[in-house]
């Protein structure tokens, strides 16, 4: 029977890394999210190491007897995973820096949709202003519009409404997140 019981210290460390990592992942600031990703990633790596069973001798033929070796496969895989985590953390760091360059902060911003709905709810307006139902544009166009109107509920949005919708769609590049 293979002895699979891991060291308790490792298990407690894994739990602590995951708990702290998840807490940080839920933060707003990208730097904290980055630290969270690193912690959770290391927790997962340790978990993988534990998954290989109890520690034994170095897995080199001729140095350690076959039956006393550690399992080298999880170690090889964890090494790969560590490299990947390193590379991706570096990318996240670069992105946090770029975000700081652009906005002078590194907070994760809201979904565009969420923002638009929140604004519309505040103004209590329709989500979309159909130009199908807008005012007169010309005789031919009017006829064409009437032909198509039957599918619509006929609510004619005010010019302000369509104007404000248009403003909302503008990509928000700067100054938006200075909360």
Q: Which residues bind other proteins (CB under 8 A)?
A: 1-4, 25, 30, 33, 37, 40-41, 44-45, 47-48, 50-54, 56, 59, 61, 66-74, 77, 80-81, 84, 87-88, 91-92, 95, 98-99, 102-103, 108-109, 111-113, 127-132, 137-138, 141, 144, 148, 162, 165-166, 169, 171-174
Cβ at position 98, least distance to other proteins in Å? 5
**Nearest distance in Å: CB 73, other proteins:** 6
Q: Of 25 and 122, which CB lies nearer to other proteins in the complex structure? A: 25
Residue 163 CB, shortest distance to other proteins, in Å, is 11
Joined tokens for residue 79: 């090494």
Kindly write down the DSSP assignment for every residue of 24-82, as one continuous string: HHTSSBHHHHHHHHHHHHHHHHHHHHHHT-S--B---BTTB-GGGBPPHHHHHHHHHHH
Find tokens 């190491």 and name the residue.
49
Rounded distance between C-alpha atoms, residue 58 and residue 68, angstroms: 9
What is Dmax (Cα atoms) for the chain? 93
Least distance (Å) from other proteins to the CB of residue 82? 11
């Amino acid at each position: 029977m293979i002895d699979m019981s891991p060291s308790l210290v490792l298990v407690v460390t894994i739990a602590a890394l995951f708990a702290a990592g998840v807490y940080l992942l839920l933060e707003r600031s990208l730097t904290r999210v980055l630290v969270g990703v690193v912690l959770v990633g290391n927790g997962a790596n340790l978990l993988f190491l534990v998954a290989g069973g109890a520690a034994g001798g170095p897995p080199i033929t001729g140095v350690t007897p076959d039956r006393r070796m550690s399992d080298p496969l999880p170690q090889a895989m964890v090494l790969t995973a560590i490299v990947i985590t390193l590379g991706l953390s570096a990318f996240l760091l670069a992105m946090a820096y770029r975000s700081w360059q652009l906005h002078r902060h590194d907070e994760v911003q809201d979904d565009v949709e969420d923002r638009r709905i929140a604004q519309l709810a505040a103004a209590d307006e329709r989500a979309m202003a159909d130009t199908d139902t807008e005012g007169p544009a010309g005789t031919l166009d009017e006829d064409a519009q009437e032909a198509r109107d039957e599918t619509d509920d006929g609510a004619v949005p005010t010019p302000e409404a369509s104007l404000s919708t248009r403003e909302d769609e503008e990509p928000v590049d700067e100054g938006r997140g200075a909360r």
